[in-house]
Structure 1
């Protein structure tokens, strides 16, 4: 009989082999019951030919060895998880659904170390495992709170004289390394409310030849709940793939056939549908173009409009330096020409608009929100409060903030000075720390605290009217981001699908991390005594300031201290 230790050793060799062939895979997460596929031997995926098949059950394996072997085999996706199914009874092998729920364990978790309990009749085993991430049935990744455990119960019986699992929880339990090896991150594309920009809805799918079909089915199903009222889809409700219900690829062309729609879409609507589908599918390396038919009629590429995929950030970040609003350029800091002297105003938290036309900042220890137009001489007060938090300016030049002692609402001040109160009920009774609006204006990241609980980042959609004004409330279903951290000092958008944060697990000092909006986190080196962080649109331009006023810039995967520069509260435009 082969030991669990030797099986684990061979699994490690498998994962190392897979990792070598999948160097192109970035940080990833896991889908649960999403319509994910599996790697076929003829899929053309390099992992399919290089991955080794994990060990199946051995004669005489105990109940514990069968269950642990089954869990380890979940990292082997070949032939529809055939090795994992070999640990199951014939009936259960037909019923078990590996994609229904996937839980992600920390990398330092060893299956042999997990606590388990076997009933006296040797027919049931219960096991608990630490979990740092979960992916729902649509492929949306959510991080879990520190200490989260997944408890699983397995029923076993003997079949042909050997123990086999007769009832197993649907889904997979795999490590972060396994996850980053066999799952890939893709974005479903939707539109802003004014159709000016595409908005990515980040999902996770098993590496597979059937991924294009999985992406299309999820795109047709609509956006994730946290985005549902903040973005628009041009695809009519109920639209489905026709014919064989799959997306086929021939010579780099993805063939997508939608059924007839009633009423028939206009030419403009057809073009928008085509753009959503093309933008979603053409990130797959094997796809260079698409052919779309609706009700058997080809939708020509000429109907497809040109919509920007992201909001550009052209201007340098703003900071407070030497008592003035200043801009960071390379290794120098230059005063904003018309900046007032803010040394006596107890100013903090500057922000600048994407078009550089206005600046905002807090003064009087957060009691007053000020706005300075680039062509004006004096700043004007646009909002008063008890203690307002760090402001953020969206692409409509609306400034967002909120009270630190929060009653479940945000404040947004329009470019014309109109103040909007936007309900965010989940903030009620919490201490709001930071408000960061995504640069496309569809989402807001909210950092908040509550005594005795880990700090929390919520990302939620912002409904808007046709003029771009915010609705009466944010979307009803915020998504928790970076929930596995105990402390989060500061947060900022760093691209359209990720945030950067100064964060720490229990007992650690806060360090810079990149965190997927629906994905895992990755540490970005170390910075001593970081207090504020701000990211640019590309996720590589990042600034951190220390409590002593030291300024650090992130370039080429390393932090560089800007010598002879003292500044605080950095913020990239938007």
Structure 2
């Protein structure tokens, strides 16, 4: 094999199409009239100049060499994957859609090691590849269960005396590292039901000068299914880009033209639409401002409201220390002034509200949920159960929990003591481990397990009524996060688009990880014997406690143990 062909088959930048038999998360598709696109010389993205130029086919290549060369060449995104298309017949090169889906392989996968099966007439080659994540046509990333394989089938025929692929499954297959090199994570912005906060809907798109257009088309299509009913959009149903069908950028100004709308939006509605678009597009470095027209009429920047992008976490985290509810400040731990002595209460799992007005905790081995108001002397029971799990308080001061042996529902106790039963059918028959509501109140992360299966983290939307109370049920289409882990010991929100977890892949020890709500995971160093984890709002403030009471703080990408401190069950406000 030639040296150039050895370079072609390196695992560094591998691409393949993915078989349609793999189930992807259902989402609306990017309109074919406005594809995500490719890296172009004028994209303004520094990674564009670093993109590898792959090898094309060579005279006399065998069927296997053509297929493997096609897979390797797919890493070259330039000129709309022109090198990869050169391995296809002329007709197939026109039809092949590389961005219909993306499958992400483990980093240790070598293209040359993938199993393949070639028919005797050399007209069909089948290949299998392991995958750890899937991205659908709308850019939503879903992790896959351990052992998931993608099966790819290629048909070939000779064209001008050379083998070429006449049928290739649509989509891409790339390594984890390369995925995060040639794709970028963006957030489509929607509103909480009371318009108080913007909620990010995390998506992945190829680095490209046409990414602003792709973002706009997806924003206009609405939120991902797992957020259904939990967030709202100011954009009317059916709204589309205007006649040009693209977002253009000139001197840092993104020009967005929407077609006419009927009925015409009010000034308030125009301002909210502008807010969503501006917040979505201004994360792109080349965009400093936007100009929006609706039906040819300019929408003034003065109409745009000032909506907070995230819920602030001002107070310090809470722990159990010296049989009291305590707060962690820097490297010290101090008890809450009115905390009762919990030595005989068999207490666990304290939580504190975002406004520091109330604390909750479990006692009697999880049979009672207690609440302590900051201005009260005594704590009071607010919910009884058989074995309740770790509580979580949302921004409405509603406390969430559920039974460990779950029958498909959660319990939420309002600030006035009203108890809400919230259906979560997908939990029925599973053991619930943890309930974590996002600080904006729109999503809940649920850690659960079932005998003989890997532990599972589901993230799903929380619909609410006009008063902010939870509706009767969660959104019906949860997204599974961190499915590649065999064990997940604990989980916590760490910002608006990511979680932190104590987790382990098959055969490994439990360690702290950061996991994108729709994205891959990354290990956060090592902590010995971690038992609980808690994350702050910025994704950098993280605490871990061990089963022996040691307390570790994550600072400057390193773990530091707090000396002479013994604590349990850390939790940041919210």
Q: Tell me the TM-score normalised to structure 2 length.
A: 0.96
1:563 matched residue in structure 2: 563
Equivalence map 1:286-435=2 (5 Å): 286-435=286-435
Which string of whole-angstrom CA distances, capped at 9 and with x for unpartnered residues, describes residues 254-305 of structure 1?
A: 0000011000000100000000000000010000000000011000000000
1:284 matched residue in structure 2: 284
1:21 matched residue in structure 2: none
Aligned residues: 558
Q: Secondary structure at the match of 1:467?
A: coil
Q: Secondary structure at the match of 1:369?
A: strand
Equivalence map 1:455-466=2 (5 Å): 455-466=455-466
Contact 1:282-1:288 within 8 A present in 2 as well:
yes
Matched, 1:124 2:124: yes
User: What is the CA–CA distance in structure 2 between the aligned matches of 1:467 and 1:167, rounded to whole Å?
Assistant: 55
Return 42-51 or 173-182, whichever deviates more. 42-51
Contact 1:33-1:171 within 8 A present in 2 as well:
no
Matched, 1:84 2:94: no
1:160 matched residue in structure 2: 160
2:73 matched residue in structure 1: 73
2:24 matched residue in structure 1: none
1:236 matched residue in structure 2: 236
Structure 2: unaligned runs, 5 residues or longer: 15-26
User: What is the CA–CA distance in structure 1 between the aligned matches of 2:3 and 2:122, rounded to whole Å?
Assistant: 20
User: What is the CA–CA distance in structure 1 between the aligned matches of 2:321 and 2:392, rounded to whole Å?
Assistant: 19
Change (3 A) 1:181 1:501: same
Matched, 1:187 2:193: no
| Per-residue deviation, 1:51 | 2.6
Which string of whole-angstrom CA distances, capped at 9 and with x for unpartnered residues, describes residues 113-154 of structure 1?
A: 000000111110000000000001110000000000000100
User: What is the CA–CA distance in structure 2 between the aligned matches of 1:283 and 1:374, rounded to whole Å?
Assistant: 39
User: What is the CA–CA distance in structure 2 between the aligned matches of 1:526 and 1:551, rounded to whole Å?
Assistant: 13
Contact 1:501-1:514 within 8 A present in 2 as well:
yes
Contact 2:8-2:73 within 8 A present in 1 as well:
no
Contact 1:372-1:378 within 8 A present in 2 as well:
yes
| Per-residue deviation, 1:48 | 3.0
2:518 matched residue in structure 1: 518
| Per-residue deviation, 1:229 | 0.6
Q: How large is the RMSD of aligned CA atoms in angstroms?
A: 1.4
User: What is the CA–CA distance in structure 2 between the aligned matches of 1:558 and 1:235, rounded to whole Å?
Assistant: 43
Change (3 A) 1:32 1:158: farther
Change (3 A) 1:481 1:10: closer
Return 456-465 or 64-73, whichever deviates more. 64-73
Which string of whole-angstrom CA distances, capped at 9 and with x for unpartnered residues, describes residues 503-553 of structure 1?
A: 001111100000000000000000000000000000000000000000000
| Per-residue deviation, 1:248 | 0.5
Matched, 1:527 2:524: no
| Per-residue deviation, 1:392 | 0.1
User: What is the CA–CA distance in structure 1 between the aligned matches of 2:395 and 2:177, rounded to whole Å?
Assistant: 38
1:26 matched residue in structure 2: none
Q: Secondary structure at the match of 2:215?
A: helix
1:19 matched residue in structure 2: none
Equivalence map 1:94-105=2 (5 Å): 94-105=94-105
User: What is the CA–CA distance in structure 1 between the aligned matches of 2:355 and 2:191, rounded to whole Å?
Assistant: 21
2:206 matched residue in structure 1: 206
| Per-residue deviation, 1:7 | 2.9
Q: Secondary structure at the match of 2:492?
A: strand
1:93 matched residue in structure 2: 93
Contact 1:33-1:139 within 8 A present in 2 as well:
no
Structure 1: unaligned runs, 5 residues or longer: 16-30
Contact 1:32-1:100 within 8 A present in 2 as well:
no
| Per-residue deviation, 1:443 | 0.1
Which string of whole-angstrom CA distances, capped at 9 and with x for unpartnered residues, describes residues 401-444 of structure 1?
A: 00000000000000000000000000000000000000000000
Q: Secondary structure at the match of 1:178?
A: helix
Contact 1:33-1:101 within 8 A present in 2 as well:
no
| Per-residue deviation, 1:243 | 2.0
Matched, 1:496 2:496: yes
Q: Secondary structure at the match of 1:226?
A: helix
Contact 1:4-1:65 within 8 A present in 2 as well:
no
Which string of whole-angstrom CA distances, capped at 9 and with x for unpartnered residues, describes residues 316-341 of structure 1?
A: 00000000000000010000000000
User: What is the CA–CA distance in structure 2 between the aligned matches of 1:422 and 1:200, rounded to whole Å?
Assistant: 23
Contact 1:128-1:151 within 8 A present in 2 as well:
yes
User: What is the CA–CA distance in structure 2 between the aligned matches of 1:11 and 1:506, rounded to whole Å?
Assistant: 23
Contact 1:71-1:174 within 8 A present in 2 as well:
no
Q: Secondary structure at the match of 1:291?
A: strand
| Per-residue deviation, 1:11 | 7.3
Change (3 A) 1:33 1:217: closer
Q: Tell me the TM-score normalised to structure 1 length.
A: 0.96
